[in-house]
């Protein structure tokens, strides 16, 4: 009657990516409609000329979010957005959403309505249909499972493993703000816990807190790329920090890269917050995560089109694999790019800042 456990390898011994590799290595896809299975931001199915894009995220209370400072409506909104962002990362647009909620009786009907309001608002803003819900009982804590279905013409789909040498490396928006916002919220939580009469001091930090609590998915960029007739050679969304995502693109493409520190777009509010915490703003951008911006590569021949786009920064280029993945610092020195990516199990005793991707 007990769990079978002859050999026992702790999850912390493996880490997230090796674990996924071990669990999924023997999986083979055989159905004609399956174009791409495990290994990108989302899976791709093909029906005639249409690509159907499927993505899923599981969010668990006190691992992926902390209700002491995340309002329920924001939580619902963000749970939808992180999935819309995965669809955008395939160069598609989200079309439908299915949500599973696990809730304990600590939550009231009104609390669930708040979560649903956030989910519905995200659907309204992004033109997505909410097509299914499954609400079940949970013994402890809140569990949110969101599946989003997107669409794109088959020939517009962009994977992460198709970057070429000399391609330009581009990123949308600015980076590091969501992580700065998280640190700020965590700091004020600690102040509150030590003295509940203290009021949170979040003044002047609206932008970074907004980026943490109410992120957006860059479906506008997907539309803009189509309009300007630009097809990226590879693309990924930034959920785990810029460094981790660049490494994903390079490894999957069998390539190297040069990333220029002084080209990384960082908002002044993020820089201010970084100084308050005595951390380099570039560290926020490289390792912070949850920006949900798009990182993509384009052929050099698209440079004239790309440089005209507002809110897109060129931050480096793809090199041969032998040249390695490098950060060129502001002082001109070259250091190997390393990811301090999110790891579900090594840090499972702490609060996580990144989504379970």
- Residues of span 101-120 touching a copy of itself by CB under 8 A: 101-105, 107-114, 116, 120
Q: Is 348 in the site for a copy of itself (CB under 8 A)?
A: yes
Task: Please state the separation of Cα 114 from the chain's center in Å.
Answer: 23
Q: Where does 202-309 show beta strands of DSSP type E?
A: 234-237, 255-260, 294-298
CB of 271 to a copy of itself, least distance (A): 27
For 40, other C-beta atoms within 10 Å of its C-beta total 23
Q: What does each C-alpha distance from 17 to 24, 44, 343, 344 come to in angstroms? A: 11, 21, 8, 10
Task: Kindly indicate which of the ranges 202-210, 257-265, 314-322, 343-351 contains the residues binding a copy of itself, using the contact rule CB under 8 A.
Answer: 343-351
Applying CB under 8 A, what is the total number of residues that bind a copy of itself?
102
Q: How many CA atoms lie within 13 A of 108 on its CB side?
A: 3
Q: Is 48 in the site for a copy of itself (CB under 8 A)?
A: yes
**47 vs 303, which CB is nearer to a copy of itself?**
47
Task: Kindly indicate which of the ranges 39-47, 201-209, 286-294, 312-320 contains the residues binding a copy of itself, using the contact rule CB under 8 A.
Answer: 39-47
Task: Please state the separation of Cα 27 from the chain's center in Å.
Answer: 25
d(CA 79, CA 223): 22
CB of 158 to a copy of itself, least distance (A): 17
Q: Is 7 in the site for a copy of itself (CB under 8 A)?
A: yes
Q: Is 122 in the site for a copy of itself (CB under 8 A)?
A: no
Residue 16 tokens read as 């997230």
Q: Is 197 in the site for a copy of itself (CB under 8 A)?
A: no
Q: Is 161 in the site for a copy of itself (CB under 8 A)?
A: no
Q: Is 202 in the site for a copy of itself (CB under 8 A)?
A: no
Rg (CA), the chain: 21
**63 vs 230, which CB is nearer to a copy of itself?**
63
d(CA 96, CA 118): 15
**39 vs 311, which CB is nearer to a copy of itself?**
39
Q: Is 195 in the site for a copy of itself (CB under 8 A)?
A: no
d(CA 171, CA 314): 6
Q: Is 60 in the site for a copy of itself (CB under 8 A)?
A: yes
């Amino acid at each position: 009657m007990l769990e079978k456990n002859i050999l026992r390898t702790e999850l912390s011994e493996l880490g997230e990516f090796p674990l996924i590799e071990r669990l999924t290595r023997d999986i083979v896809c055989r159905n004609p409609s399956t174009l791409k299975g495990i290994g990108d931001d989302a899976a791709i199915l093909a029906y005639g000329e249409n690509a159907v894009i499927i993505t899923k995220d599981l969010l668990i209370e006190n691992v992926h979010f902390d209700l002491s400072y995340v309002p329920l409506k924001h939580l619902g909104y963000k749970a939808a957005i992180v999935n819309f962002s995965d669809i955008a990362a395939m160069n598609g647009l989200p079309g439908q959403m299915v949500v599973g909620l696990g809730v304990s009786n600590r939550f009231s009907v009104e609390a669930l309505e708040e979560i649903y309001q956030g989910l519905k608002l995200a659907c309204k803003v992004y033109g997505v249909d909410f097509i299914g819900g499954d609400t079940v009982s949970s013994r402890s804590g809140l569990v949110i499972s969101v599946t989003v279905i997107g669409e794109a013409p088959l020939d517009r789909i962009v994977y992460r493993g198709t970057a070429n040498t000399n391609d330009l490396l581009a990123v949308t928006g600015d980076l590091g703000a969501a992580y700065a916002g998280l640190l700020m919220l965590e700091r004020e939580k600690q102040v509150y816990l030590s003295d509940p009469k203290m009021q949170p001091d979040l003044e002047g930090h609206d932008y970074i807190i907004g980026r943490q609590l109410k992120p957006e998915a860059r479906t506008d960029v997907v539309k803009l790329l189509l309009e300007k007739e630009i097809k990226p050679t590879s693309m990924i969304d930034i959920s785990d920090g810029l460094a981790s995502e660049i490494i994903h693109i390079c490894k999957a493409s069998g390539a190297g890269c040069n990333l220029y520190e002084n080209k990384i777009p960082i908002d002044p509010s993020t820089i201010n917050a970084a100084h308050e915490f005595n951390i380099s703003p570039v560290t926020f951008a490289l390792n912070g995560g949850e920006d949900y911006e798009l990182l993509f590569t384009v052929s050099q021949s698209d440079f004239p089109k790309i440089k005209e786009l507002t809110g897109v920064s060129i931050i480096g280029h793809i090199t041969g694999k032998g040249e390695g993945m490098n950060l060129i610092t502001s002082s001109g020195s070259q250091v190997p790019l390393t990811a301090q990516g999110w790891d579900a199990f090594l840090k499972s005793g702490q609060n996580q800042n990144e989504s379970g991707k």
